[in-house]
Structure 1
Amino acid sequence: MNLLRITLLLTISIPFFVLSATNQTIDSFNKAKKILERNVYQDHRITLYCNAEFDSKKKVIPPKGFHTDKYVKRAKKIEWEHVVPAENFGRTFEEWRNGDKQCVSSKGKSFKGRKCAEKVNKEYRYMQADMFNLYPAIGAVNALRSNYNFTMLPSEKSDFGSCNMKIENRKAEPPESARGRISRTYLYMEDTYSRYKMSKSQRQLMNAWDRMYPVTEWECQRSRVIAKLQGNSNDVVQSRCENNKYL
């Protein structure tokens, strides 16, 4: 094989756009939310947990029978939920745990936590803004879920009326319709970011939900669009989509 043929083959085999392993494009949580609103969910304005519709101004049209006694004002609009809570990976950063010399308020008071990690550490900002981990949720549901991990709860009572989202003892059980997407988000975050590791029990649950609740065509479409916008792929979702012939 001559040099010209080798050069041509190499040129053809190398893609014009090479995906990175992690999010290396969007380092702003606010920017990520705007991109999701305008470029990913513009034709699919449905929340993760309650399948509630929302409009271009983020106003929620709650499903029939939805109810909440808490965070009533936040129930009127959607918010962008970190499925894997920011604290779960944020506490691996020194700035989150102990602060930094740059994390001083205008009044001279030192601070730490999410605000400090966001201010100082670009790696944290990339993880926080990863759109594969962000889903629309009714504000009140997002508020009450907080940073609680998911599990199966003994109680059969929903905290939101017809939306079968349960929260108890700092744990949350999502509706069946959300479990597949949640599981593959957790698996993606662990697979993509070495900083984040699930507990053994959490990984077992996510693997079980991944098997029990197969990928949907919309989930595959969402993943493809985000990959183009963000510059890295969700290999967990992509492999399920290939197996289900959605790609």
Structure 2
Amino acid sequence: MATTKVFLFSPFRLTLLILLLAFSSFSSAVSNVSNDSFSKAKKMLEKEVYFDHRETIYCAASFDSKKRITAPAGFYTNKYEKRAKKVEWEHVVPAENFGRTFVEWREGNTSCVNSKGKTFKGRRCAEKINTEYRHMQADMFNLYPAIGAVNALRSNYNFTMLSGKQSDFGSCKMKIENRKAEPPEIARGQIARTYLYMEQTYPRYKMSNSQRKLMIAWSTQHPVSAWECTRARRIGELQKNRNLVVEELCAQIKQD
């Protein structure tokens, strides 16, 4: 008599499978085309997404409607001290990472000339000339509240693991060294799923193989939370597109 084999997936393997299935759905991933204003995106996030969850991504600091930060106990910084008192909206995938794929960023444009007749390039030129760039820059799925000083020191550095490095911010376990950053464990899942979303949604943005493997590992190790699901739903309603990476995992939580 033939026997039927039943394969049982551990939660880790099941999460990994869901991630890979969601990540493979490139044809279903629709980008942000509803808002090309970075300023408007920040206002919508503060007023319509984070109004009942005013907590920063890296350090879990609270902030109020006037952008004032209440740092967690034990947090400190000896740089950008004024910015440590305010919340800022951080591109988890740095704008430069996708910005350099635009010719206006790399080379400039004949229309990118200041009042003194001097040409310019980089983010300022890409933002002025290219609508696609502005849509990517304003994508709210890639924007998170952060303590201003942490945002400043993280700069445009890619995330990795920094062996033996001590925290740069006291009780907030954010580490920065040699133009690399290691985020606290509480932030790694959201960071990973944001990187995967950006690569899935915008064909011009690509991660290295090693970075993609790290992000998939972080996402499986640090599952989605109820807040992350709520955040994705709210942004989807405002921005008129979906984060399929997060949605697939949130759907699995509901089924369980």
Deviation, 1:156, is 3.8
| C-alpha distance in 2 between matches for 1:21 and 1:160 | 37
Taking a change above 3 Å as real, the CA distance of residues 196 and 220 of structure 1, as seen in their structure-2 partners, is: same
Taking a change above 3 Å as real, the CA distance of residues 163 and 210 of structure 1, as seen in their structure-2 partners, is: same
Q: Which has the higher contact order (CA 8 A, sep 6+)?
A: 2
| C-alpha distance in 2 between matches for 1:187 and 1:138 | 24
Is contact 1:83–1:133 with CA below 8 Å preserved after alignment? yes
Single out whichever of 227-236 and 148-157 deviates more from structure 2. 148-157
| C-alpha distance in 2 between matches for 1:186 and 1:156 | 23
Q: Does residue 236 of structure 1 match 2:245? A: yes
Partner residue of 2:75 out of 61, 66, 70: 66
Match of 2:44 in 1: 35
Deviation, 1:155, is 2.4
| C-alpha distance in 1 between matches for 2:204 and 2:104 | 14
| C-alpha distance in 1 between matches for 2:104 and 2:246 | 31
Match of 2:228 in 1: 219
Partner residue of 2:152 out of 133, 143, 150: 143
Match of 2:124 in 1: 115
| C-alpha distance in 2 between matches for 1:221 and 1:22 | 19
Task: Report the residue type matching 1:230 in the other structure.
Answer: Q
Match of 2:112 in 1: 103
Match of 2:189 in 1: 180
| C-alpha distance in 2 between matches for 1:110 and 1:79 | 29
Aligned length: 229
Match of 2:99 in 1: 90
Taking a change above 3 Å as real, the CA distance of residues 229 and 81 of structure 1, as seen in their structure-2 partners, is: same
Is contact 2:29–2:244 with CA below 8 Å preserved after alignment? no
Instruction: Describe the SS at the equivalent of 1:135.
Output: strand
Is contact 1:103–1:111 with CA below 8 Å preserved after alignment? yes
Map 1:184-223; keep pairs closer than 5 Å: 184-223=193-232
Is contact 1:25–1:230 with CA below 8 Å preserved after alignment? yes
Query: RMSD of the TM alignment (CA)?
Result: 1.3
Task: Report the residue type matching 1:151 in the other structure.
Answer: T
Q: Does residue 125 of structure 1 match 2:134? A: yes
Task: Report the residue type matching 1:68 in the other structure.
Answer: T
Is contact 2:29–2:200 with CA below 8 Å preserved after alignment? no
Deviation, 1:147, is 0.2
Deviations 1:165-211 (A, max 9, x none): 00000000000000000000000000000010000110010000010
Deviation, 1:245, is 1.2
Instruction: Describe the SS at the equivalent of 2:254.
Output: coil
Instruction: Describe the SS at the equivalent of 1:185.
Output: helix
Instruction: Describe the SS at the equivalent of 2:167.
Output: coil
Single out whichever of 151-160 and 44-53 deviates more from structure 2. 151-160
Is contact 1:20–1:231 with CA below 8 Å preserved after alignment? no
Deviation, 1:244, is 1.3
Deviations 1:131-167 (A, max 9, x none): 0000000000000000000000012410000000000
Task: Report the residue type matching 1:66 in the other structure.
Answer: F
Unaligned stretches of 5+ in structure 1? 1-18
| C-alpha distance in 2 between matches for 1:119 and 1:156 | 39
| C-alpha distance in 1 between matches for 2:166 and 2:106 | 36
Taking a change above 3 Å as real, the CA distance of residues 246 and 196 of structure 1, as seen in their structure-2 partners, is: farther
Is contact 1:165–1:173 with CA below 8 Å preserved after alignment? yes
| C-alpha distance in 1 between matches for 2:158 and 2:255 | 30
Q: Percent identity?
A: 69
Instruction: Describe the SS at the equivalent of 1:167.
Output: strand
Moved over 6 A (4+): none
